[in-house]
Amino acid sequence: MNQGTSLHLLSKSDKQNTEGSGKPMKKLPLIIECELFVRSLGQDQLKTRTRILGGRHGDFILIEDPIFHINERLTALPEKEFVCSFFHDGDIYRFQTRIQQVMGRGLSLIDYPDQFQVENVRKHHRIQVNIETHFVAQGSRETVSGTIRDVSEGGCYLLVPALMSAFQNMLCKVSFVLPDGQQIAGVDAKVRTVRMIKLKRVTELGLEFLGPREHLAKIASFCRFCLFFKV
């Protein structure tokens, strides 16, 4: 199957007929290369992420091995049922499953679920964080230090401990390390809101992330991980 290929896209009518009726949907909107978040049913601290690589509706889903990191030396595949979650079109899909077969070469088949739940969420859900950040305005050589206080797939709220010259739609680059260790080295951003609090001598900036795509993917992955596992 080709990267980005849809196994099945849930139609709007399917979704409307299911929601409110309490009846499980017949098909999951599975997308090749979609990130899948996995959590143990019995041990909430055991969680990981993997990818959907293929599948056959009503039979199995092919994924990369969902490996739990128990400690620095010990890893394991789930032995019993576990919970899977993924994001699609503004909704979180959750279902319980188990490993049907370990294929080798880092691949596993999991059971296609008989039923699953759908939760509508805000696309750019804000995650509360406290991340040291470096900010450089376009055309400037000065690096400004600040703290990201919340982050979403679409942008962030940046607190700068100084009064600085900034204006709406100003372009900039922002560098930081996400709490999961992923490094964001110079994501392009645009200033959407500016608020200077002279009494506290701080500047609050609302930033919109623009690119590049690999940085946006890292930020989205972190935000979805936090959303799925309520971090």
Do 78 and 40 contact (CB within 8 A), yes or no? yes
What pLDDT does 59 receive? Answer: 93
Which amino acid makes up residue 53? L
Straight-line distance from the first to the last Cα atom of the chain, in angstroms, rounded to the nearest whole number: 33
What are the mean pLDDT values of the chain's consecutive 10-residue runs (231 residues total)? 44 39 65 92 88 93 94 88 88 92 95 90 78 94 94 94 92 96 96 93 96 94 80 49
Q: What is the pLDDT of residue 70?
A: 86
Any idea which architecture 127-229 has in CATH? Beta Barrel (2.40)
Domain ranges of the chain: 12-120, 127-229
Q: Supply the pLDDT for residue 124.
A: 63
Please state which CATH class domain 12-120 belongs to: mainly beta
Tokens of 75: 């890893």
Residue indicated by tokens 């010990």: 74
Q: What CA–CA distances, in Å, run from 167 to 24, 82, 191, 194, 228? A: 49, 48, 7, 6, 35
Q: Beta-carbon neighbour count of residue 93 at 10 Å?
A: 22
